[in-house]
Structure 1
């Protein structure tokens, strides 16, 4: 079947299975942490601060992670990060199980997760291309990878909503800890040989400069990374405020919050399925523009929603746009980057997405504290529309320059 063609590869099938189980636990923990922090503090700013702690390391460490992945065995790096993340989840589960509700330690554990994830995501993204044998199946493998993530985003919060209401946050954290067993078992069963690039005799700073020069010489790639960074700073932080919409704006509880996350997961899953059906020759730039507009308009619609049902609808369409935007940018970068530069290129993509996002979350959290959540989220939607207009104008300018050079 065209949609699942990458699953014919043994190693990718194992990767897909392990991630399907583990990411459900990851999303359960994300929902539980967001709800726990907001329940304990009632502060959108603290909520943004915890998000900042979990994602900010990607801004600083992602380029270094890319160099490490290009230098060493990415499969072993991925194995190592999964073990550390499992221990982090176990520590958080134990702390909450003992009723030690300390925001400082939750922040520290979130920071540890961010530090490890900056390496984990780079290794994971770069590893996908080694799990399928045919290059034309790479876009499908990337899209299926996104569908796993967003399918878990649909299922995980739904389960978390029931568990949070019935048993509390600690069970969610424990399930996430146990879910890593599936990943480790699947990694053990893989039969994979990774060709490690010849190690550079230069230091890691040379690798960083080389990666930056590569991006500078590739405007199509660098413009997409800048688009991702702008969106992460000014638009995507709306996701941080979903607990605020659930609890304060629509007068709900933990179950209401899980509805928002599950609707987001459903929209993103639909987007992932659409992306998985695409072939590698499709015009991904056009998809990026359309999906970015869907995201921005949905964020604006969420802020202006008169009822919970309308808010849930815009949460779904916003996640669809966000998923299609990220997946299409990811696919373009993976398929248009030299193999020896892929780790560094993807590290800049991760830095633009996960590294810039916490700065945006912290900044928007502060503004929400001053001016109100609804106004700030509405302005995020407007900012997204302006960003895309600027991107379209830039692309047109580039095309005119290219045509002028051909004429001369």
Structure 2
């Protein structure tokens, strides 16, 4: 009951309800568009490589943009930054829907628009996430981070559940247009927030933007906990997340099914993430979170082996739910550690690195799996990636105790480290 109370407190205020409802609606639209765009790329090309390239173009801009976006989020009005970037995402969705509806969409144009959407999302992610400590008390921050991930997981279930029948009945355009509506709603919800001024505004500008980017990277690399856990998460995303980003080839070639089954599998990922997210939220404590982050990635690797090794769709659904659940535990845990262990003046930059990890590294993994899948088939490349991850896991376990000591205490300031 006490643990459930922590989650209830995180959701009890007007601002937290506005924030999380906006997140839920926006991310539901996001997953509708992801399903639709992935299927659109498959329809346009029939190639696993190009499906992977579309995912790459959406996620890869984070490599270049996220460090800059984080530094900007640490020095400007974060509410305004979140509003404008979410408005840009809505515009991108409207353009994709418009060009597709008019019959002028090509794979090249789709790649360009996905890059534009990826740039906007790279700015929106740290802008939104840095607001969270301004709408909940610090003791409730782990539950709030879990609630944020629960919104994402729920949207990952609802979005595909809506998108599958919509695409089957009316095509991809309505599903993509739904994302534009969702982000317009999220923009309005941010406008209505009353954020603690200390968290709304970044620090006074005293250095160049480039210097602050470098300073943030140095802070992460020198931190005994943040540096290792971010590296572990990055390598895990590179080696394990690619399968989720190029599902259409697996659906058609491995399971012999169509768009509705793509939506079913994506919803299974979401169901797993939702159930595990509720469990993580119910913990209501920071202790043990580092260990969860490390071992959840190993469980995700095992579930990935089961998914790519079968052609029996019900078992694939089960493995998809397990992948979604373990990935959710890992992601919530890492985000909680970042929010808790980072000095406030660096929070935007650290969260932007997390955004880079969750966007750029899966993109690289998707592109690699898509290209390798054209040559070696869809099963062997993910199995090789899992084998490589086992070495990463061994490295993480060897550093686990030191990471726990650095991440599960009070935030480390530049002066106290």
TM-score bracket for this pair, using the shorter chain length: over 0.9
Question: For the residues of structure 2 that align with 1:357 and 1:117, how far apart are their CA atoms?
Answer: 15
Instruction: Indicate the RMSD between aligned Cα atoms, in angstroms.
Output: 1.7
* Alignment match, 2:320: 315
Q: Residues 328-372 of structure 1, C-alpha deviation per residue, up to 9 Å, x if partnerless? A: 011001101100111111122222221222122212211111111
Shift of the alpha carbon at 1:396?
5.8
* Alignment match, 2:190: 187
User: Contact 1:297 / 1:385 at 8 angstroms: preserved in 2?
Assistant: no
User: Contact 1:90 / 1:173 at 8 angstroms: preserved in 2?
Assistant: yes
* Alignment match, 1:73: 77
- Where do 5+ consecutive residues of structure 1 fail to align? 401-408
User: Contact 1:292 / 1:384 at 8 angstroms: preserved in 2?
Assistant: no
Q: Residues 160-188 of structure 1, C-alpha deviation per residue, up to 9 Å, x if partnerless? A: 11011111001111222222232133223
- Residue 83 of structure 1: which of 84, 87, 105 is its match? 87
Question: For the residues of structure 1 that align with 2:45 and 2:91, how far apart are their CA atoms?
Answer: 26
* Alignment match, 2:68: 64
Moved more, 208-217 or 231-240: 208-217
Shift of the alpha carbon at 1:210?
1.6
- Residue 138 of structure 2: which of 135, 138, 141 is its match? 135
* Alignment match, 1:208: 213
Shift of the alpha carbon at 1:290?
2.4
* Alignment match, 1:164: 167
Structure 1 residue ranges, 4+ long, deviating more than 6 angstroms after superposition: 397-400
Question: For the residues of structure 2 that align with 1:349 and 1:22, how far apart are their CA atoms?
Answer: 19
Question: For the residues of structure 2 that align with 1:326 and 1:208, how far apart are their CA atoms?
Answer: 24
User: Contact 1:89 / 1:174 at 8 angstroms: preserved in 2?
Assistant: yes
Secondary structure, in 3 states, of the residue corresponding to 1:282?
Answer: coil
Q: Residues 14-47 of structure 1, C-alpha deviation per residue, up to 9 Å, x if partnerless? A: 0111221221111101000001111221111111
* Alignment match, 1:355: 360
Question: For the residues of structure 1 that align with 2:244 and 2:28, how far apart are their CA atoms?
Answer: 18
- Residue 265 of structure 2: which of 240, 250, 260 is its match? 260
Matched, 1:368 2:373: yes
User: Contact 2:228 / 2:403 at 8 angstroms: preserved in 1?
Assistant: no
* Alignment match, 2:413: none
User: Contact 1:93 / 1:177 at 8 angstroms: preserved in 2?
Assistant: no
TM-score after normalising by structure 1? 0.94
Counterparts in 2 of 1:181 and 1:348: CA distance versus 1, 3 Å:
closer
Secondary structure, in 3 states, of the residue corresponding to 1:355?
Answer: helix
Counterparts in 2 of 1:197 and 1:250: CA distance versus 1, 3 Å:
closer
* Alignment match, 2:303: 298
Question: For the residues of structure 2 that align with 1:399 and 1:95, how far apart are their CA atoms?
Answer: 50
Shift of the alpha carbon at 1:382?
2.4
Question: For the residues of structure 2 that align with 1:64 and 1:280, how far apart are their CA atoms?
Answer: 32
* Alignment match, 2:341: 336
Shift of the alpha carbon at 1:226?
0.3
* Alignment match, 1:406: none
Question: For the residues of structure 2 that align with 1:396 and 1:141, how far apart are their CA atoms?
Answer: 25
Shift of the alpha carbon at 1:200?
2.7
User: Contact 1:300 / 1:380 at 8 angstroms: preserved in 2?
Assistant: no
Question: For the residues of structure 2 that align with 1:398 and 1:90, how far apart are their CA atoms?
Answer: 44
* Alignment match, 1:246: 251
- Where do 5+ consecutive residues of structure 2 fail to align? 406-417
Shift of the alpha carbon at 1:275?
1.7
User: Contact 2:57 / 2:115 at 8 angstroms: preserved in 1?
Assistant: yes
Q: Residues 267-298 of structure 1, C-alpha deviation per residue, up to 9 Å, x if partnerless? A: 01112111211223321111112211110000
The 5 A counterparts of 1:210-289 are: 210-289=215-294
Shift of the alpha carbon at 1:4?
3.0
Matched, 1:114 2:118: yes
Matched, 1:18 2:22: yes
User: Contact 1:300 / 1:379 at 8 angstroms: preserved in 2?
Assistant: no
The 5 A counterparts of 1:32-43 are: 32-43=36-47
User: Contact 2:52 / 2:245 at 8 angstroms: preserved in 1?
Assistant: yes
Matched, 1:50 2:83: no
Counterparts in 2 of 1:106 and 1:190: CA distance versus 1, 3 Å:
same
Counterparts in 2 of 1:192 and 1:220: CA distance versus 1, 3 Å:
closer
Question: For the residues of structure 2 that align with 1:397 and 1:337, how far apart are their CA atoms?
Answer: 16
